[in-house]
Amino acid sequence: MPFSRYKKAKIYFTEIGKGSTVILLHGFLETSLMWKDFLPSLSQKHRVLCIDLPGHGQSECFGYTHSMDDMAGCVLAVLKTLRIRKAKLIGHSMGGYVALAFADLYPDYTKGICLFFSTSRADSVQKKKNRSRAISVVKENHTSFIRVAIPLLFRSKFRKLKKEAIKSVKEEALKTSKQGVIAALEGMKRRPSREILLKFPPYPIHIVSGKKDPIIPVSTMEKQMNRSENVSGIILNKPGHMGHIEAPEECLRELMWFIKK
């Protein structure tokens, strides 16, 4: 099985296709499997890497906190394993935070970033408090936390109509270990703002957001779009936070546009 290593922990990845490299980074409580329906299209003319971030999927944990910088280090480890010099990164939610950290730390390896239902801003004071409360709940019963948290990522109408789809996401999330959940929550809570990267990026940045996203308010995302010539953005009408499930065709169109840009 394809593994790289970071701080002695195994980091799992897959690759498909040939051409310029595109890296897909999943969000919190997800795995690289979230991209499976998009891979046939994205890999037609590109080499696509899917990485399980530490503590998720088949990648191991390496500490109490998995900072976004450390997760970016995992991405770099995979690139070095495969001897890849430059890539575009697409990150969903937490994966977007990792993509930004990667671009900040390793600009010479960065060809472009797509923030896919993600934000360049740090957590607000209230959001940090919420994450601390979540960590306390996870320590008591992490499966209960996951069962409650997953449905809240979707818009309310979708939760009523697509219970089976949400059940599938929940089942995959329940495979995440308690340590993996806590380490990611700590890392997200402590991450810095990287909004400065949107001002004069030397590579394209594309932002895809959902009008009904219950996690990242659309007003927050509007302020981050079109900050410079190299920054573009779109707000999709249908989806909540899980656009790849709630509005797959529209989201695939945006990702295809970004990697061809």
Q: How high is the pLDDT of residue 87?
A: 98
Domain that holds residue 92: 3-260
What helix, strand, coil percent values describe the chain, rounded to 5? 45, 20, 35
**For residue 161, what pLDDT band results from cuts at 50, 70 and 90?**
confident
Rounded CA gap, 81 and 161, in Å? 43
- Residue 189 sits in a domain whose CATH number is 3.40.50.1820
Torsion region of 7: left, alpha or beta (phi above 0 gives left; psi -120 to 50 gives alpha): left
DSSP secondary structure letter of residue 88: E
Q: How high is the pLDDT of residue 66?
A: 98
Q: How high is the pLDDT of residue 30?
A: 98
Mean pLDDT, residues 197-220 taken together: 94
pLDDT per residue over 212-241, tens digit each?
A: 999 999 998 999 997 788 999 999 998 999
Neighbours of 258 (CB within 10 A): 21
Mean pLDDT, residues 186-214 taken together: 96
Assess whether pLDDT exceeds 80 at residue 16.
Answer: yes
What total of structural domains would you count in the chain?
1
pLDDT per residue over 108-130, tens digit each?
A: 999 999 999 999 999 999 999 99
Query: Coil, strand, or helix at residue 84?
Result: coil
Here the contacts of 33-41 (C-beta below 8 Å, separation 24 or greater) are 33/57, 33/172, 34/92, 34/244, 35/244, 37/244, 37/248, 38/244, 38/248, 38/251, 38/252, 38/255, 41/252, 41/256
Nearest to 78 by CA among 97, 37, 38, 106: 106
Name the percent of the chain lying above pLDDT 70. Answer: 100
Rounded CA gap, 103 and 118, in Å? 15
**For residue 1, what pLDDT band results from cuts at 50, 70 and 90?**
low
